[in-house]
């Protein structure tokens, strides 16, 4: 949301219900009708279209992906998997962990804002669910990370080599742990791979399981390939 939008109350005519389906015909086939009762569902649940919903996917999905990556990766060098703290209040855990480990390069695994729902213009958020993880080019209008060219090339070439769908992202708003990491010590080459998520920072975030699987595969293969 833009700053001015945050100050306004949401009107009912601007609200909608996302059930993971493409159109009203698909909704009718699924047994959904006008007049059905609705309420917030705060527990994890499955939607149609191989989508899931729940609270705090930012960054539970990143943690899930990291665990699976560490189970699968067979890299030539040493790979550290770090679950950081206080990312939302100053990237504090990433800053101290990066200083301690001083890695050759780093990849932050996070979520990013998907914009494929009503009220969002294509130019404001072109990222879509089911189209693959995003490879960040820059975020926070350049005040955050500007991805190192070698890291960017590693991620893109890996995705294309293994036919992993991916999306490129340039963010205007928030940032990730990679911002702190790439400014640690004399600078650590860093990048970000993110799972697209709708309605971030709400109790009903929505994500695609295929995007999660492809995030795991992309990061795993990139680590095995190396810079």
What are the backbone dihedrals phi and psi of residue 37, each rounded to the nearest 5 degrees, phi first? -75, 145
Identify whether 59 is preceded by a cis peptide bond (ω within 30 of 0).
Answer: yes
The residues carrying an active-site annotation are 87
- Please state, as a whole number, how many other Cβ atoms lie within 10 Å of the Cβ of residue 173: 12
Task: Report the sign of the C-alpha dihedral through residues 3, 175, 211, 213, in that order.
Answer: negative
Q: Is 37 exposed, middle or buried (0-12, 13-18, 19+ CB in 10 A)?
A: exposed
What's the distance, CA 161 to chain centroid? 22
């Amino acid at each position: 949301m833009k700053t001015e939008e945050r100050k306004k109350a949401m009107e009912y005519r601007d609200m909608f219900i996302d059930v993971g389906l493409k159109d009203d015909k698909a909704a009718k086939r699924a047994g959904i009708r006008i007049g059905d009762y609705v309420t917030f569902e705060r527990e994890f649940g499955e939607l149609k279209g191989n989508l899931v919903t729940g609270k705090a996917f930012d960054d539970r999905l990143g943690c899930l992906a990291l665990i699976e990556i560490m189970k699968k990766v067979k890299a030539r060098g040493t790979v550290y998997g770090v679950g950081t703290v206080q990312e939302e209040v100053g990237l504090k855990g990433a800053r101290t962990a990066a200083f301690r480990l001083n890695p050759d390069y780093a990849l932050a695994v996070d979520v990013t804002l998907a914009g494929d729902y009503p009220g969002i213009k294509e130019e404001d958020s072109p990222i879509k669910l089911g189209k693959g993880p995003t490879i960040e080019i820059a975020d926070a209008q350049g005040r955050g990370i500007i991805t190192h060219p070698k890291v960017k090339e590693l991620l893109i070439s890996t995705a294309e080599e293994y036919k992993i769908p991916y999306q490129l992202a340039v963010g205007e708003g928030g940032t990730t742990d990679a911002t702190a990491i790439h400014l640690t010590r004399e600078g650590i080459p860093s990048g970000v791979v993110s799972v697209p998520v709708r309605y971030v920072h709400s109790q009903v975030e929505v994500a695609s399981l295929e995007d999660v699987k492809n995030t795991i595969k992309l990061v795993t293969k990139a680590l095995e390939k190396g810079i």
